[in-house]
Amino acid sequence: SSFQLPAPAGRSGGACTSALLKVLYHDHHKNNENLSFVQVLTQMRTILDQGSYTQIPQLSASRKMNVQERFEIVPSGCGTKRAILIGINYVGQQGELSGCHNDVGNIKDYLMDAQGFEEQNITVLMDDGSHTSPTHDNILAAFRQLVAETETGDCAFFHYSGHGGRLEDDDNDEEDGYDETLIPVDYKSAGQIRDDTVYAELVGRMPEGSTLTCLMDCCHSGSVLDLPYTFKADGEQEEMGVNPNAHMSKLKMMAIAYIVKKVLGTGTAASIVLMVLGGSMGGGSMGSMVSMGLVQKLASMICK
């Protein structure tokens, strides 16, 4: 049977966005500036519980973070700040939401008023008839533009408020057998955007030394990026732990690509090496061990 948007069950959507802003932002100014990551997520959980929402706020990262440190989305010394904000209400469709456009407006105000983002560096996609439509192709184009414009030392922010979904895994890289997805406004004709695609087009392409923060306010959002470290505000975790469902093979390939680029540049030889290693990475545990051995060897060459 064909995919249908889930019923919103009378909810406006964007519960996590609203909870985060209640903790961080009031009357166009930052508040509670000294809260830690743990405190922010825990307070969000309390606000969600009060609204009878069952979501548990979750933080995932490409490196292990000290979640007891002060919460921030703009590191000190950040260069240019850029953002992509996507709000999809699925106007006129079954499963229509009602709060996602408001989420984008509120997050945009927060970024500009409290974090110093400039409007010309904020890309907005909404199905409101006034902004660029959040179609499959337009979303991917926004990812690519952000990556192309971002330089070392810059920071970026990606916010998505809309429906999220799951599709049967098509490349055997998910422990649970499913890819998490973002659902563009034209999903019926263009399809959903798999987590693999978000990783390949956005997360994995960010330049060295840049920072990307993503706020994913949708179903299945906790695992949509499949990053290796995670913290859940469930009252039990006190520090980040290893995510057993992370795309470690992709992280390894990113490390290989970075090292090969450093050694061989971006020419034909580098492309051939990456294709060969990419094939071995998909060849089971032995291929992964061989690839990581080569990564270590190349790393030792670079560090001499």
- SS3 annotation, the chain: CCCCCCCCCCCCCCHHHHHHHHHHEECCEECCCCCEHHHHHHHHHHHHHHCCCCCCCEEEECCCCCCCCECCCCCCCCCCEEEEEEECCCCCCCCCCCCHHHHHHHHHHHHHHHHCCCHHHEEEEECCCCCECCCHHHHHHHHHHHHHHCCCCCEEEEEEECCEEEEECCCCCCCCCEEEEECCCCHHHHCCEEHHHHHHHCHHHCCCCCEEEEEEECCCHHHCCCCCEEEECCCCCCCCEECCCCCHHHHHHHHHHHHHHHHHCCCHHHHHHHHHHHHHHCCCHHHHHHHHHHHHHHHHHHCC
Phi, psi of 258 (to 5 degrees): -65, -45
Round to whole Å and give the CA distance between 123 and 145: 10
- From the candidates 155, 163, 214, 247, which is the catalytic residue? 163
- From the candidates 159, 218, 219, 247, which is the catalytic residue? 219
Can 163 be counted among the known catalytic residues? yes
Can 101 be counted among the known catalytic residues? no
Q: Which residues are catalytic?
A: 163, 219
